[in-house]
Amino acid sequence: MSVQRTSFYILLVLVTLGFIGVILPFYSAVFWAMVFAILFFPLHCWIEDRLGGRRSLAAIFSVCICLFLVIVPGLLILGSLFQEGNKLYQQISSGQIDLPGMVKKVQDSLPDFVRDRIDALDAQGLENIARRLSSSLMQGSSFFAGRAWNFGQNTLQFFVVFGVMIYLLFFLFRDGRMLGRKIMEAIPLSASHTRRFTEKFTSVVRATVRGNIIIAVVQGVIGGVTFWFLGIEPALLFGVLMMFMSLLPAVGAAIVWGPIALYLAISGSYASAIILVVVGVVVIGLVDNLLRPPLVGKETKMPDYVVLISTIGGISLLGINGFVIGPVIAALFIAAWTIFIEERDRDEASAKPLIIEKRL
């Protein structure tokens, strides 16, 4: 390799790293603009055809659809979550919600052998559990309160990032085909490998965002309405939490309504507990079984445990962006190793006749 070509590759790596560093503060805006472009690009193509190929006008319509159909409702839900979390924090800190009294009520309703078992496991019994529960709820609700405060302090930054996302989304719609071709040509892989990776990326993004979010919203709305009907407050907070927990396979919304139903049963509200369990198991479970196959289907082609681990890991590392990035990385990982194994087996199969001929 010549000195000039080596220098060029070094320069290429340096300018690429520099560009990544420049856009890194806006990576969320860039990422979600790409996600919305992938999700709504088929609809954008339909709009563009109806408008006679006017790409700019079609891109404006597509951006408006994204805004009013997904982005604005999502921001309203997040705002309500922060508001309810702040309200819960104020109620716990002021003593309006008496957690020790609630635990005492549960303790009085437990059989003697259960209380003795808890006391044997913990010297301070349920009182210590009440303190831990109160501390955990205070930390969780203070997190939402703190986020609401930070949002108020960083309003300008939020609108800058939001504006960058909308601006970039317009050009991804308008010039998406050309940009896609350029990126595929620039990727230093064979055409078949590039096609498989891009297909896997787009299919996982669509399955994860389109399918899981629709299912999560439906389950969260059903759960929130059920909590409101049963008089369980804060119903909106619990509904939104169910919405987020529904994004996790295997555990899902049951991690929210299950403990609440158990508390209702222990505290003597048997009718409310039965209603909540029936809604959780039958209605919410039925929604998952009916909507997941047509919306998510087999596009991800990943086991549920891989989706669960990659989703939780992605969220823990990258926040809300991780529930998409985690499964995408897992899917690309599986796709890369699948290609490697296929090519290795093909090379070994083609090498066997040569070895036999040499022996003969």
Domain ranges of the chain: 23-186, 191-346
The tokens for 210 are 């389109």
Alpha helices by DSSP H, 175-284: 176-186, 191-205, 212-230, 235-245, 254-266, 270-278
Q: What is the largest CA-CA distance in the chain?
A: 89
CA atoms within 13 A on the CB side of 212: 27
Compute CA 293 distance to the chain's CA centroid, rounded to the nearest angstrom: 18
pLDDT recorded at residue 333: 84
Distance CA 178, CA 329 (A): 25
Residue 208 backbone dihedrals phi, psi, to 5 degrees: -70, -50
Taking residue 234's Cβ as centre, other Cβ atoms within 10 Å add up to: 21
pLDDT recorded at residue 102: 63
pLDDT recorded at residue 123: 47
Q: Judge whether 311 and 326 are in contact, CB under 8 Å.
A: yes
The tokens for 246 are 């529904």
Which residue matches tokens 């529960």? Answer: 133
CA atoms within 13 A on the CB side of 167: 8
Residue 127 Cα distances to 94, 103, 115, 183, angstroms: 19, 8, 11, 60
Distance CA 332, CA 344 (A): 18
Distance CA 309, CA 327 (A): 9
Compute CA 156 distance to the chain's CA centroid, rounded to the nearest angstrom: 25
Residue 87 Cα distances to 90, 91, 100, 236, angstroms: 5, 6, 19, 11
Which residue matches tokens 């309810």? Answer: 84
Residue 298 backbone dihedrals phi, psi, to 5 degrees: -110, 25
pLDDT below 50 — which residues of the chain? 123, 125, 141, 148-149
Distance CA 96, CA 156 (A): 35
CA atoms within 13 A on the CB side of 128: 8
pTM for the whole thing? 0.69
pLDDT recorded at residue 354: 55
Distance CA 249, CA 305 (A): 8
